[in-house]
Amino acid sequence: MTKIAVIVGSLRKESTNLKLAKAIAALGKGKFETTISRIDDLPLFNEDLEKDFPKAAQRLKDEIAAADGVLFVTPEYNRSMPAPLKNALDWASRPYGKNSFATKPGAMLGTSPGGIGTAVAQHNLKGTLSYLDVTLMGQPEVYLQFKPGLIDDDGNVTVEDTKKFLQKFTDAFSTWVEHHQHEKSAKAA
């Protein structure tokens, strides 16, 4: 079974992006297994701390290394990705030369109450992920406007059109990761 590390950029207990991550996990059941990687216990990135690498940061690096792909689910704060997400990216890509994201297939999506969802945050995130050598899926893009009750606490999508759209994204992401697994296996052979 394909393993997906999911990084949710919000630390909120009632995060709509956590609900979205759970919805993708539910829609991908049978195609991939997800692990939502914890990022709330990471210290602020400081290169001085690399000498005694923080256990929480090592755990995150290990989860990403063990995954076949990475899914980034981000809110948008002040027209950018949230600080906890950037902090997680910094830790998991360090120390220099030991980037856990390198060559991993990935995708991003997000939700917010605003009309453009998380389009600007994802634009910022895309530049960072490209630099970190994540092979990003280009289509379909998901900039979801969240409305109360759209996704319940268990990840069930309550609006049929939205559910179909998210299923399309989930299926494309599953195919994207599988394609890169086969490509990686062919190169190793």
Contact 95, 51 (CB under 8 A): no
Residue 89 gets which letter from DSSP? H
CATH of residue 71's domain is: 3.40.50.360
Check if the beta carbon of residue 72 is closer than 8 Å to that of residue 129: yes
- pLDDT, mean of each 10-residue run, the chain (189 residues): 97 96 98 98 97 97 98 96 98 97 98 94 97 97 96 94 98 97 80
Query: What distance in Å separates the CA atoms of residue 106 and residue 24, rounded to the nearest whole number?
Result: 14
Of 7, 28, 32, 16, nearest to 169 (Cα)? 28
User: 176 CB contacts (<8 Å, ≥6 apart)?
Assistant: 69, 105, 107, 137
pLDDT at res. 188: 78
Q: What total number of domains does the chain contain?
A: 1
Report how far Cα 48 is from the mean position of its chain's Cα atoms.
27
Count CA atoms closer than 13 A to 124's CA, side-chain side.
17
Q: What is the pLDDT of residue 31?
A: 97
| Residue 104: alpha-carbon gap to chain centroid | 12
| CB 125 within 8 Å of CB 142 | no
Domain hosting 56: range is 2-188
Distances (CA, A) of 125 to 110, 121, 134, 184: 11, 6, 11, 25
